[in-house]
Each structure stands twice: as C-alpha cells, then as structure tokens.
Chains A and B, each alone.
Chain A
Amino acid sequence: MRLASLLAAALSMAAPAFAQTPIGDADAGKTVFAQCSACHEIGQGAKSRIGPHLNELFGRKAAGIDGFRYSKSLERAGADGLVWTLDKLDAYLENPRVLVSGTRMSFRGLRKKKDRDDVLAYLRAFSESPANIPEAEPTARKVEVELPPEVLAIKGDVAYGEYLSSECKTCHQLDGSDAGIPSITLWPEEDFVLAMHAYKQKIRIHPVMQMMAGRLSDEEIAALAAYFGSLE
C-alpha cells in the first residue's frame, strides 16, 4: 500500500499534468491495444493511417490532427468543444457511437471497465511527452501480409473501382456509417490493399470478405483502394 502510494507520488511528480489519477495497468493495456492497432499507431514515429495516430491524445481536441479526414460528426464534436480527457475517452471507448453517433471508428467498444482503464493507462503514457519515451517501441501495424512492391505500386483505375465498389455498397455504407458492418471509406490506399490481400490470402478470417476478396485480381484491389481513397 505504502509502496503504491509512493510510486503514484513519484509518477505524479514526473508527469504532473496527467498522472494524478492512477487508472489502470499500462502493461495489460498494451495487450488490449492490440485490438486498436489495426487502425491506430502510437509511439515514436507513429503516423495516422486508417485512424489518427494516438500520441499526445490526452488533452487533444476531438478531430484535432490537421490533415486527417475525420467523420463529419467527429469534426462537429471538436468544433463544439469536445476535448479528449480521461472521462471522455472512457465514454468513447465504452461505446464510440453513444458519444459520437456518426463516428467512422468501427469498434464495438470495451464493455469491461478494467479493459478501458488499462488501455487508457497505456495511452496516457504516450501523452505525457512522447519525445521522452525513447524506449517505447513504435507500435506500427502488425504486418499482416507481405506483398511484393510491384503489387503495392499498382495505380488503381478509379472508374473501374467505382463500378466494383457497387458490390461493397450493398453492405458497407458510403458515408462511413457503421450499423454492424464496418466503415471502409477514406482509408489510405495502402491499408486498403493490405487488408484486401489479407482476406484474399485467408489471413483475415471473415468468410464473406474472404469470398469477396478471393476473386479480385491485384488490379481490381488497387482500383477499389483508389476509388474509396478518392471520396469526398
């Protein structure tokens, strides 16, 4: 008990802005974060991909990264003053669409309080001062599928992609709303290509998507990526 409070005191001295409230176990949170890492990067060199990078998230204005294409709902929330505090992040992670109804973040939410506490402890560590966390490994996406550079280099035919996309739109909504089927709009083209090849090679497990991707050629996947990346 005494040790714990000493540690907390030490932590709060090291990072007074954020660490006053102990929240959870950051190591356990790293495991929880695996669910997030398909879309979000965090740590040194982290970049925005399908989702924005999460360095310095605590205290960030919602929709606060310049150049990232957020949903209209999240932009509106940011303009209305939503700031990612501990409480707001906890609410968002519990059920994203309760806090921001039109978010494109396709995530059901973490129902268990402990999971949220742990992952928030993990995230907070990267908010304190990322420049001072040299030990933090860049948690870039796990590499799901290795593609030869020439496949990644294919320039997609947007018009063909638009026709092919009509098949996606039977389930996936173009405006990015997610009512049980995830958003696929405005992804970086490379992420789209990697995801589709991961389904095609049956590394990702969803049976419908394995079937849909299974009959697409490299050019067709590139065309779809180019089309969905070109929206808005």
Chain B
Amino acid sequence: MTLNRRAFLGTAAAATVLSAPMLRAQGRPKVVVVGGGAGGATVARYIAKDSQGAIDVTLVEPTRTYYTCFFSNLYIGGFRDFSSIGHTYGGLASEFGVNVVHDWAVGVDRDANTVTLASGGVLPYDRLVLSPGIDFKDGSVPGWSTAAQNKMPHSWKAGSQTQLLKAQIEAMPEGGTFAMVAPPNPYRCPPGPYERISMVAFYLRENNPTAKILVADPKAKFSKQPLFEEAWNSSYTGMVDWIGPDFGGENVEVRPDSMELIIDGEVEQVDVCNVVPGQKAGRIAEMAGLTAENGFCDIVPATMQSRVDENIHVLGDATNGGDMPKSGFSANSHAKVAAMAIRGALTDSRVFPAKFSNTCWSLVDTENGIKVGATYEATEEKIAKVDGFVSQTGENSALRKATYEESLGWYAGITADMFG
C-alpha cells in the first residue's frame, strides 16, 4: 500500500464529482445494512453519525435484542449474566437516526439495487452493506444438521442456543462427559472453541469435578494453543482430552438421538455434545450471489466492497478477510473502513487509507485472561498483516488479571461503539 494521501484524496474527489449530483437529484443517498452485529451495527452507527443526516441509513436485523457471541463463553462459565451480553437498537434509532427494521432480508436484486424483506417490503439502496455473520455448511459433521441443534447445540450464534448449552451442562450427571466437535478452518472466532472448553472446565471443576471433557478436532493446531494447553494442564488437570487429527479427531460422526459421538470408529456415549460445524457466509450473501467457492465473500480490502458488485460492501465473518481472523473486533474494524469509504462515495467527505486491527481476549480461569492481536493494512490482493503479539505462557497472575480486566473494558468499549 504505497498510495499517498493526496493520491487518495484525488481519487475520492473524482468519484464524488461523478456520483453526487446524480444521487442528490433523487434525495438523500440510501444505505441499507443487513445484519446488526459487530459489523452491521457499527457501520450503521458510523455512517449515520458522521454524515449528520446527509445519508439515509436503514438497518435490517431480525432480533430485537442482540446477544454478542463474544463473552457468551463467559456466560457459560458463570462469569456473566445472560442479560449482560444482550443489547438493543434503541440508541441507534433515537440518537443517530438509523431506521431500524426488525425483519429478515430474503433477497437482493443487484440490477434494481433493492433488498426484499420477509414481510414483503422492498428497500432501495445506493450502497448495500451485508454483515450477515455465518451459517453452517451442510454435511460438515455426519449425522448433524440444524434439525438436531436442540439435542446437540452449536451455540455458535449467541442467544437461546447459548442458554440451552449452559442448561445441558448444568444438568450433566456427576462424572458425566461433555463433548465438543471443534470446527475446521475457517470459522468464526478462532480461539472461541478453546475458550469455551476452558469455561466449561471451570464450571465443572466447581460443580462436577469428576466430569470429563472430550474434544474432537479436525485441526492439528489452533489459536493460542500453548496458552490454552497450559491452562488445561494447570487449572483443570486431567479433565480435558483433546483429540486432534493424528488420533482421528477429523473422522467423526454424531448420533443425536442416542447421544453418541463416534471418533474414528470408536463410539463414545456422552451427556452433552456441542457440535460446532464447518461454516460459510450468512445465507443472504449466498442468495445475493456474492460468495466465492469456499462459501465466503471476496472483498476489495481498501473499501470492503464485494469483488462481485461494487455497490455492495461485505463485512465481518462473511468475508474472506485475508490475514484477519473472523471476530467481532475484526468486523467492527471492517465497518469503520467501509463507513469511511461509503461516505466518501456518496457525499463529499474525505477518504483515508484503510487501517485494520484485531485483538482477541480469552478467559481461561478466574481472573486469568490471555490475548492475541495484530494490525493489518489493505493491499491490492488482501488484508495483510503488519504486526502482532500474543500473550506468553508462564505470565504472572497480576498480568493475567490485568489482561482479564482489559477484556472487560474492551467489551464495554466495543458494545458502546456498536450500539451508541
């Protein structure tokens, strides 16, 4: 990325001269955002706030209360109330003038530039932002489908699934077995499955100490692995049995009706089975025809525009995000770049170089937090890593406590940044 600022501004000015008069003739330019999570809520808030009414922003999100996936593991461990991870959209509407529509987007007409809603409504747009999160790949775990999600929850979209999993863990018999089928790459929140294992282990150590945890994993290695393994060995000694691909962890099948997990031909009878399947972009991205072969959407890094349609921006977990992991922090970071680019294209506001960053905190035991993070820049080809860091094994308890407290500050910060 060697464009200097003047070259950037020149490009932006040229684009504005062409597009602004045409759009103004039709009234305020319209932005429709589909999905009200870390990407969608942030982009709606930033466009509405920074354009000060010059852009009409509509946010389409089916749920009235949005539960964040980040920190849902802390609820499972007993460190957060469920209500503390729930957020509503009242502030976006009242403080920033975002039109919040609680409905499902069921279609995108890319020739007419409209979004169709389940209720039958049709929303025209000058720019569309899709931030639909993830859906699950059919057949990723033999024997499992979303029809089985009440017996074997995924709990990889927060809400009732999260509550169900916690209830199942609490109902485990003494000395019972919690199993997880971990997802293949790429998936939402790389450290998430292992933070979840740590939080389940914490709950069981306190409440059901003879219980066991079994993880079948198709991946040979995973995010922050030495840090998680250190915690499992020291805090939950003998409780966690992680089975990687060398021992058949990629060869699994589930039988939800009989609560069986078959790992490499061996049948395990389990009490709870958390199946986190392989993932793809949220369905609306696929219906809009924006997904690449791997199920996610290719984007132009400098603006987060779809490689398929320049009037559509795609954010967050639904993208092929280059070196960036799929996380709420990443989606929030994508949203700020997209908001800046969209305002630049639809009004005469200035355009700046894209800057991205991400940090993922995980809690492994009481006041024992770890983190990994990096900064990124937009190259022609992809979002490319600039610099990064990760917590170290053997850190002292004061540092781990400070890291945990920092994660609480981050949660307060990012949710304020999303919802106002």
B387 (CB) vs chain A CBs: closest residue: A211
Q: Do the beta carbons of B405 and A211 come within 8 Å of each other?
A: no
A182 (CB) vs chain B CBs: closest residue: B409
Is A163 part of the contact surface with B, judged by Cβ < 8 Å? yes
Nearest CB of A to B374, in Å:
7
Is A37 part of the contact surface with B, judged by Cβ < 8 Å? no
Chain A, 1-16, CB within 8 A of any chain B CB:
none
- Number of A residues contacting the other chain (C-beta, 8 Å)? 25
16 inter-chain pairs at a CB distance below 8 angstroms, sorted by A residue, are A160-B350, A162-B50, A163-B336, A166-B340, A170-B329, A170-B332, A170-B414, A171-B406, A173-B412, A178-B409, A180-B406, A180-B408, A180-B412, A208-B389, A210-B389, A214-B387
Is B359 part of the contact surface with A, judged by Cβ < 8 Å? yes
Is B236 part of the contact surface with A, judged by Cβ < 8 Å? no
Is A177 part of the contact surface with B, judged by Cβ < 8 Å? yes
Per a CB cutoff under 8 Å, which of B50, B355, B388 touches A167?
B355
CB contacts (< 8 Å) of B406 on chain A: these are 171, 180-181
Query: Once the chains are docked, how many angstroms separate the CA of A208 from the CA of B412?
Result: 17
CB contacts (< 8 Å) of A180 on chain B: these are 405-410, 412
Query: Once the chains are docked, how many angstroms separate the CA of A208 from the CA of B50?
Result: 27
Q: Do the beta carbons of A170 and B389 come within 8 Å of each other?
A: no
Using A170-B414, A178-B409, A180-B405 as known contacts, say yes or no to A211 and B388 having CB atoms under 8 A apart.
yes
CB contacts (< 8 Å) of A210 on chain B: these are 389
Is A169 part of the contact surface with B, judged by Cβ < 8 Å? yes
- Number of B residues contacting the other chain (C-beta, 8 Å)? 35
Query: Once the chains are docked, how many angstroms separate the CA of A178 from the CA of B408?
Result: 10
Query: Once the chains are docked, how many angstroms separate the CA of A164 from the CA of B337?
Result: 10
Is A172 part of the contact surface with B, judged by Cβ < 8 Å? yes
Is B413 part of the contact surface with A, judged by Cβ < 8 Å? yes
Interface centre among B336, B352, B413 (most CB of A within 10 A): B413
Is B151 part of the contact surface with A, judged by Cβ < 8 Å? no
Instruction: Mark A residues whose CB is within 8 Å of B.
Output: 159-160, 162-164, 166-167, 169-174, 177-181, 207-208, 210-212, 214-215
Interface centre among A170, A171, A174, A208 (most CB of B within 10 A): A170
CB contacts (< 8 Å) of B407 on chain A: these are 180
Query: Once the chains are docked, how many angstroms separate the CA of A174 from the CA of B420?
Result: 10
Q: Do the beta carbons of A177 and B412 come within 8 Å of each other?
A: yes
CB contacts (< 8 Å) of A171 on chain B: these are 359, 406, 409-410, 413-414
Nearest CB of A to B192, in Å:
18
Query: Once the chains are docked, how many angstroms separate the CA of A163 from the CA of B410?
Result: 19
Q: Do the beta carbons of B389 and A172 come within 8 Å of each other?
A: no
CB contacts (< 8 Å) of A215 on chain B: these are 355, 375, 377, 386-387
Per a CB cutoff under 8 Å, which of A167, A173, A177, A212 touches B336?
A167
Chain B, 395-420, CB within 8 A of any chain A CB:
405-414, 416-417
Q: Do the beta carbons of B413 and A163 come within 8 Å of each other?
A: no
Is B291 part of the contact surface with A, judged by Cβ < 8 Å? no
Per a CB cutoff under 8 Å, which of A164, A173, A212, A214 touches B413?
A173
Q: Do the beta carbons of A207 and B389 come within 8 Å of each other?
A: yes
Query: Once the chains are docked, how many angstroms separate the CA of A167 from the CA of B414?
Result: 10
CB contacts (< 8 Å) of B377 on chain A: these are 215
CB contacts (< 8 Å) of B375 on chain A: these are 211-212, 214-215
A159 (CB) vs chain B CBs: closest residue: B350
Using A169-B413, A179-B409 as known contacts, say yes or no to A164 and B373 having CB atoms under 8 A apart.
no
Q: Do the beta carbons of A160 and B352 come within 8 Å of each other?
A: yes
Using A208-B371, A208-B373, A215-B387 as known contacts, say yes or no to A170 and B355 having CB atoms under 8 A apart.
no
Q: Do the beta carbons of A170 and B410 come within 8 Å of each other?
A: yes
Nearest CB of B to A191, in Å:
21
Query: Once the chains are docked, how many angstroms separate the CA of A78 from the CA of B406?
Result: 29
Query: Once the chains are docked, how many angstroms separate the CA of A180 from the CA of B414?
Result: 13
CB contacts (< 8 Å) of A162 on chain B: these are 50
Query: Once the chains are docked, how many angstroms separate the CA of A167 from the CA of B377?
Result: 13
Query: Once the chains are docked, how many angstroms separate the CA of A159 from the CA of B408?
Result: 29
Nearest CB of A to B252, in Å:
36
6 extra interchain contacts, Cβ-Cβ under 8 A, other than A167-B357, A173-B416, A215-B386? A163-B350, A166-B46, A170-B332, A174-B416, A181-B406, A211-B389
Q: Do the beta carbons of B355 and A181 come within 8 Å of each other?
A: no
Nearest CB of B to A211, in Å:
5
Q: Do the beta carbons of A181 and B350 come within 8 Å of each other?
A: no
Interface centre among A160, A167, A174, A177 (most CB of B within 10 A): A167
Is B333 part of the contact surface with A, judged by Cβ < 8 Å? yes
